[in-house]
């Protein structure tokens, strides 16, 4: 039997005791809170703004996505679905990422809009005559300022108040960005740009 160890700092006192009933109640409360916050945040997105985002994707010769941390996971998942739909999509930080230029789209995703590496790479894209589109929780940020188009994903709490999430910093943006991208995929499917059968054929068969 493997002995379980705790990372609790014992200098701050004994670790809390596991209580299954309390844990179950906490999970139920958290589930309601998280779903409510995501609904509030995505509910604030202007559908016309979302439609323009889809148009930017459709107009691109090639799409390069970039982000950092958990935001990168969200936008990488979108790049994967774009590839499944037949778009020429890449992750900018991957070693196989091609050069960018006129006609290409650089899609940046950053909650703060101030992550240095993301800002630098987006500026490089702009300097290379790419369109730069940013999904951010801070539309007044440096990253938003250098973009051609910005999707505002400001965090809203379950009470519909801006920036009142009870989750750890940035978490709600990352969740909402992931689902915003998934909704955009469904919008593209509804326009007839790919069928599920076509997407399945492009899915990796190396797994």
The reply to whether 88 falls in a domain is: yes
Residue 41 lies in a domain: no
Tell me, what CATH number does 127's domain have?
A: 3.40.50.10490
Q: Looking at the domain assignment, is residue 84 inside a domain?
A: yes
Catalytic residue numbers read 174
- Output the pLDDT for position 207: 84
Spatial separation of the C-alpha atoms in residues 64 and 121, rounded to whole Å: 11
A 10 A CB-CB count for 184 gives: 20
Task: Please tell me the pTM assigned to this model.
Answer: 0.89
pLDDT at 204: 93
Angle at 21 between CA 15 and CA 24, to 5 degrees: 95
Backbone angles phi, psi at 153, to 5 degrees: -115, 50
The answer to whether residue 5 is domain-embedded is no
Give the C-alpha distances (Å, rounded to integers) separating 148 from 6, 130, 166: 48, 9, 32
Q: What distance in Å separates the CA atoms of residue 80 and residue 44, rounded to the nearest whole number? A: 26
pLDDT value for 157: 84
Between CA 63 and CA 81 the distance in angstroms is: 12
119 falls within a domain = yes
pLDDT computed for residue 6 by the predictor = 57
With respect to residue 17, please indicate whether it lies within any of the assigned structural domains: no
pLDDT at 16: 81
Give pLDDT, residue 14. Answer: 67
Domain around 181:
47-200
* Averaged pLDDT in 10-residue chunks for the chain of 207 residues: 54 77 94 94 94 97 97 97 97 96 98 97 98 97 97 88 88 96 96 92 92
Number of domains in the chain: 1
Domain presence at residue 38: no
Q: Tell me the Cα Rg of the chain.
A: 20
In a domain, 21, yes or no: no
């Amino acid at each position: 039997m493997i002995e379980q160890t705790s990372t609790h700092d014992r200098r701050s006192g004994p670790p809390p005791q596991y209580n299954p009933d309390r844990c179950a109640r906490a999970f139920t409360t958290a589930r309601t809170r998280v779903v409510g916050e995501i609904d509030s945040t995505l509910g604030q997105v202007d559908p016309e703004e979302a439609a323009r985002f889809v148009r930017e994707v459709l107009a691109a010769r090639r799409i390069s996505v970039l982000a950092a941390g958990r935001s990168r996971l969200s936008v990488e998942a979108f790049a994967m679905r774009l590839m499944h739909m037949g778009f020429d999509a890449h992750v900018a930080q991957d070693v196989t990422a091609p050069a960018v230029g006129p006609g290409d789209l650089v899609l940046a995703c950053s909650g703060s809009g101030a992550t240095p590496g993301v800002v630098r790479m987006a500026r490089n894209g702009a300097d290379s005559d790419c369109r730069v589109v940013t999904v951010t929780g801070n539309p007044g940020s440096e990253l938003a300022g250098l973009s051609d188009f910005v999707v505002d994903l400001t965090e809203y709490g379950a009470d519909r108040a801006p920036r009142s999430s009870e989750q750890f910093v940035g978490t709600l943006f990352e969740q909402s960005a992931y689902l915003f991208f998934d909704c955009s995929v469904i919008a593209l499917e509804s326009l007839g740009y790919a069928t599920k059968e076509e997407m399945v054929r492009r899915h990796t068969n190396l797994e």
